[in-house]
Amino acid sequence: MLLVAALCLAAVEDPALAEQIAESGDTMLPRLISGDFQAIDLDADNAAMSWERVVARLSDYARSPGVAPHAFDVLLTQAEDLWSEVLESGEMARPRIRDGESGPWDAAEVPVSATVERLDYGVLKVPRLEGVRIHPLNAGGHTVGVVLSLGDHAFSLQAFRAPAGPIWGEVRPKVIQDVRNRGGTAEDAESSFGCEVCAQIPVIKDGRQVLQPTRIVGCDGPGWLLRGAYGGPSALADVVDPRAHHLFTQAVVDLSAAANQVDAPQEITALEIRWPATE
């Protein structure tokens, strides 16, 4: 994020660089410069400027004629100050979930962005992101969700039938107590995911128990709850990983694809997904 802030400042100082970015079709920098911090999120076309392009453009700027050798160091210092101001403003933590522009969506709703390519797992439709590996989440002999590998982080998604209406507010205290009972720590929080649980969950790693930072998120939809757990070293960072936010808020829940529709129980139940034979 610091590099993105540095590129914003460089584009403000160098009109030629700003023009080059505009001509390339990249939309993130112009939006950020105008104060639209939601541009950091991936959009429907996964069109946030790639980190490789950010680094490349900063390198081009540093090598530009007339740019002093120490200019890049000054730029990073200014970018750090700018990013601190952004974080203190609270804009990056403002909930952006089921607000008309972001989901997660119900299959019957409009708009469900058709430009987002999704992998069909029956009840759960998951956005496709390049470089993200997807594995089945199994429980009790059934496949009940997906686990998405994001480098040294993992993000699990699971859908539940919730016929009695919104339940995330009731579920969170139970999640917190469960984590504490297992020897971890957990507390209510809020981010761009909305109301969530920030936890340190005991896991076994390399033969010993450690506490893994984990962000547990949830969202109520019509008759369902979508729950996610994002774990890894930076899971509790001040700014949510835009990949995780995109995967969660562009997911689609389709209760019509659930098994046993006639005998569907009225209590909260985990929904089994359809795992493709080719996966």
Three-state SS at 217:
strand
Per-residue pLDDT of the chain (279 residues; tens, 9 = 90+): 566 666 666 766 676 766 666 666 665 555 554 455 555 554 434 444 455 666 677 777 677 777 777 776 777 777 666 656 655 655 556 678 888 778 899 999 866 667 788 999 999 999 998 889 999 999 888 899 999 999 899 999 999 999 888 999 999 999 999 999 999 999 999 998 999 999 999 999 889 999 999 999 999 999 999 999 999 999 998 888 888 998 999 999 999 988 655 455 556 678 888 887 554
Cis geometry, peptide bond prior to residue 222 (ω within 30 degrees of 0): no
What 3-state class would DSSP assign to 148? strand
Beta bridge partners of 272: none
Q: At what angle do helices 51-62 and 2-13 cross, to 10 degrees?
A: 40
For the CA atoms of 161, 170, 195, 213, the dihedral, rounded to the nearest 10 degrees, stands at: -90
**CA dihedral angle for residue 185, residue 189, residue 192, residue 195, rounded to 10 degrees:** 110
Q: Whole-model pTM above 0.75?
A: no
Q: Supply 167's token pair.
A: 């339940």
Q: Which tokens in the block code for residue 113?
A: 């962005």
At 52 the pLDDT is 62
Could you confirm whether domain 105-270 is CATH 3.30.1640? no
pLDDT, residue 92, reads: 52
DSSP state letter for 50: P
The residue behind tokens 């101001």 is 85
Residue type, 186: A
DSSP 47-80: -SPPHHHHHHHHHHHHTSTT--TTHHHHHHHHHH
220 has which bridge partners?
A: 225
Cα torsion 170, 175, 181, 184: sign:
negative
Residue 185's pLDDT is 97
Give me the pLDDT at residue 43, please.
42
Residues 6+ apart with CB under 8 A from 29: 7, 8, 11, 18, 21, 39, 49
Peptide bond into 111 cis (omega under 30): yes
Residue spans per domain, the chain: 2-91, 105-270
> CA nearest 200: which of 191, 209, 275?
209
